[in-house]
Structure 1
């Protein structure tokens, strides 16, 4: 008997935060649940929905996109609908606007009495009372891993417990009762304040955590057994990992991108594992001084590289040009390639000539890299949990972190070059390279991810 036809079809709303690193994994989970014959209502804003990839025809009947228009807020530039279009200090305006979606979402749910479950993100602190009134169950889907979640601690702790000063976040908390190094550096705790609204991210998250039936995370027991155990103890509710959601490698195979043809030709001419790839994600903006220091470090490594440089949001073209030191591109033309704008990251990482990834430590980027067995040159951005991810990867011995000043985050090009060489070629990085390759079995394992997704599906069917 077919397992999927014997179950009751659930009607589920999905409500991610307005950042691409949230929107994409939420769609992946929606597609899995749609395959299991549940009906998904994917709620976001028109522009974010339009950026999503085409659905496979077989799933179209089970996924309905619900566009809610983002209300105007003073300070939010017109037409902006996601964090990647904003410098970090303007993200609070996006949070204010997001909070105003409450009215439209309530109206939609009132018109859709068949929806009995919402899978939601950290941000909608106003969702629990509304869901309670409409008798809808809540499942919180945190796109961050278990170690970062464990670091944030008990809801009471998140809402203002023992950690009062930025310094308090630079030590491993007592409840993480296993040997680890997961804590922030001082400069990371200070810079996150910039993207906080009046309602802090902590307050948002603690509120939804206290009111959800299940907490689900983008991780698996095979990678973080210790942190998942701590989370169960902290929250006293089901903690169900839904897997690492490795990106489908079909996105590596499709041909015909002329950018890729030129890149591939260049990569084909290089020795196996000799090239390192550099990308700082869509939301990390370094100062011009830091970009120059990073550039000199990349150059001093002497190794072949591909560096993807994105124009910071809302910055004039001319200023964006100055982000790279003058004459840098001419000097390194034989050593590496500087790409501006978007790049086919998965295809680059999957190429046999690429042997490492200098990353801002976004969880999706880390998953892509380890899913292909590539070690990490850890250069975490200053916001969210990027620093915690860097410490976790360092602790798991699949990456080395670029040395920086703990207080102000400054760094020297020589240390950047040294870290690149340690990960890529030095004998002391040999074990690290082997560990990263072995991680492919967990991070790139679609069967393992699907097994977690199956267990998650069963847990929401049984609420």
Structure 2
């Protein structure tokens, strides 16, 4: 550990209220704290309590600053993150997040040593605050470089050159290399449900305009083309932070480990690379009809599997049981495990019996899978960047996307079963499996991620030095 630096920075870290954001922000905070900098991690009480415990040697350098989330009409009481909400109610969470401005200003005024804020895509009002208090802004986008490049230049984001959902279904001209990165129509329509009166594009653009550095969760070894485009269109420092593989930070989730021994015993009894793992993230909420169609496809594949089924958001009157077709569990009991709630995803993916991952295409999940060399059965459901991640992984030939109707997102269980078999066992999936295995040298490399984080740390030190 390196606490011998001459110029200790005091840095506030301010992620959006989603687990896929707060954990990468914590990982960056841990690295900076390890290098001797003082971190003030700002979030709401419930999100702070959900975070994994810090290693003892970092606790003196990281303070958690809880801000009470204001109540707004439409936001159910007690809700503090996107995982507790259906997509239609996320705009109310954004409204509440925007109201954190007053408390954040109070904290910053009481901590004049803070001269740097590492922030997320949401607080479009932060530049005004930073100017008043003479604070530098560093925008950390937890999204891939390709997703950031797809958003375009400031004039594309703030000028609203793309107005209709259809405008987002073609590869933009500025992504001037052969690629397939664009949304499907149903993905754009779905994403519009979580937009506030201040659009995500406006938030993102305003913050890029005013930040000193745009840091992205990527690396040149994986996305050289997109990083080149980002540098070209923004004309400001674009800094890849590396992929932040979980192995860099040790075991983060000890909760639920009491179930691991039984699960490991089951996996140990299976042949190498014979099992596929299914998990749709902490926030995806498919309709019962589509979940049942997916389930029938999983069954029809006739391959061993582990499927993690989470409860829908707290405010919905459904449970995990509604998502599982009646009788399915009994029919597949010889070869399939259906787990409710939480599972240790990284341990499951890393097991030698697991040969593939049917994923919702969250960037963190994709990184976990490729970090241990497992190919992807791509099933982007939900909003945000998931569709773009699926196209990127298909383009990189490490995954295969389950075919869906472009307009309404419907699919058949036959297509699900066929995609699973192609990735897991068919001859035509052999190249995907080989490519994914090779990718772990990049995605799972602790040394590579450390190198990027170290360069980022040096840039921050020079920015305020």
Indicate the TM-score class for this superposition, using the shorter chain for normalisation.
over 0.9
Q: TM-score, normalised by structure 2?
A: 0.97
Who is 1:411 aligned against?
411
Who is 1:91 aligned against?
90
Alignment of 1:228-307 (within 5 A): 228-248=227-247, 250-251=250-251, 257-307=257-307
Who is 1:220 aligned against?
219
> Quick check: 1:339 aligned with 2:334?
no
User: Residue 161 of structure 1: CA displacement?
Assistant: 3.4
8 Å contact kept, 1:187–1:382: no
Who is 1:102 aligned against?
101
8 Å contact kept, 2:2–2:36: no
- The C-alpha deviation readout for 1:10-59, integer Å capped at 9, x for no partner, is 00000000000000010000010001101000000011111111111111
Assess, with a 3 A threshold, how the Cα gap between structure 1 residues 268 and 303 changes in structure 2: closer, same or farther: same
> Quick check: 1:72 aligned with 2:71?
yes
Q: What is the DSSP-based 3-state SS (H/G/I as helix, E as strand, rest coil) of the residue aligned with 2:162? A: coil
Q: What is the DSSP-based 3-state SS (H/G/I as helix, E as strand, rest coil) of the residue aligned with 1:322? A: helix
Who is 1:41 aligned against?
40
Assess, with a 3 A threshold, how the Cα gap between structure 1 residues 72 and 161 changes in structure 2: closer, same or farther: closer
8 Å contact kept, 2:285–2:312: yes
8 Å contact kept, 1:295–1:325: yes
Q: How far, CA to CA, are the matches of 2:203 and 2:317 in structure 1?
A: 36
Assess, with a 3 A threshold, how the Cα gap between structure 1 residues 401 and 354 changes in structure 2: closer, same or farther: same
Q: What is the DSSP-based 3-state SS (H/G/I as helix, E as strand, rest coil) of the residue aligned with 2:239? A: strand
Q: How far, CA to CA, are the matches of 2:170 and 2:228 in structure 1?
A: 20
Alignment of 1:125-140 (within 5 A): 125-140=124-139
Structure 1 portions without partners, runs of 5+: none
User: Residue 253 of structure 1: CA displacement?
Assistant: 11
8 Å contact kept, 1:252–1:350: no
Q: How far, CA to CA, are the matches of 1:130 and 1:256 in structure 2?
A: 41
Q: Count matched residues.
A: 462
Q: How far, CA to CA, are the matches of 1:306 and 1:229 in structure 2?
A: 39
User: Residue 7 of structure 1: CA displacement?
Assistant: 2.9
Q: How far, CA to CA, are the matches of 2:256 and 2:81 in structure 1?
A: 29
Who is 1:321 aligned against?
321
Who is 2:441 aligned against?
441
- The C-alpha deviation readout for 1:313-368, integer Å capped at 9, x for no partner, is 03567654222111111111112011110111111001000000000000000000
8 Å contact kept, 2:84–2:315: no
Q: How far, CA to CA, are the matches of 1:364 and 1:238 in structure 2?
A: 24
Who is 2:199 aligned against?
200
Q: Which moved more, 1:68-77 or 1:361-370?
A: 68-77
- The C-alpha deviation readout for 1:387-420, integer Å capped at 9, x for no partner, is 0000000000000000110111000000000000
8 Å contact kept, 1:251–1:346: no
> Quick check: 1:179 aligned with 2:159?
no
> Quick check: 1:12 aligned with 2:1?
no
8 Å contact kept, 2:309–2:320: no
User: Residue 6 of structure 1: CA displacement?
Assistant: 4.2
Q: How far, CA to CA, are the matches of 2:257 and 2:136 in structure 1?
A: 44
- The C-alpha deviation readout for 1:288-309, integer Å capped at 9, x for no partner, is 1100100010001000000000
Q: How far, CA to CA, are the matches of 1:431 and 1:295 in structure 2?
A: 27
Who is 2:458 aligned against?
458
User: Residue 257 of structure 1: CA displacement?
Assistant: 2.6
Q: TM-score, normalised by structure 1?
A: 0.97
Who is 2:372 aligned against?
372
Q: Which moved more, 1:249-258 or 1:31-40?
A: 249-258
Assess, with a 3 A threshold, how the Cα gap between structure 1 residues 380 and 148 changes in structure 2: closer, same or farther: same
Q: What is the DSSP-based 3-state SS (H/G/I as helix, E as strand, rest coil) of the residue aligned with 2:349? A: helix
Who is 2:430 aligned against?
430
Q: How far, CA to CA, are the matches of 1:320 and 1:6 in structure 2?
A: 50
Q: How far, CA to CA, are the matches of 2:306 and 2:131 in structure 1?
A: 50
8 Å contact kept, 1:84–1:283: yes
Q: What is the DSSP-based 3-state SS (H/G/I as helix, E as strand, rest coil) of the residue aligned with 1:216? A: strand
8 Å contact kept, 1:252–1:347: no
User: Residue 242 of structure 1: CA displacement?
Assistant: 0.7
User: Residue 165 of structure 1: CA displacement?
Assistant: 1.0
Q: What is the DSSP-based 3-state SS (H/G/I as helix, E as strand, rest coil) of the residue aligned with 1:248? A: helix
User: Residue 141 of structure 1: CA displacement?
Assistant: 0.1
Assess, with a 3 A threshold, how the Cα gap between structure 1 residues 319 and 57 changes in structure 2: closer, same or farther: closer
User: Residue 260 of structure 1: CA displacement?
Assistant: 1.0
Q: What is the DSSP-based 3-state SS (H/G/I as helix, E as strand, rest coil) of the residue aligned with 2:247? A: coil
Structure 2 portions without partners, runs of 5+: none
- The C-alpha deviation readout for 1:238-291, integer Å capped at 9, x for no partner, is 001111000027429979933111111111110000000000001110011100
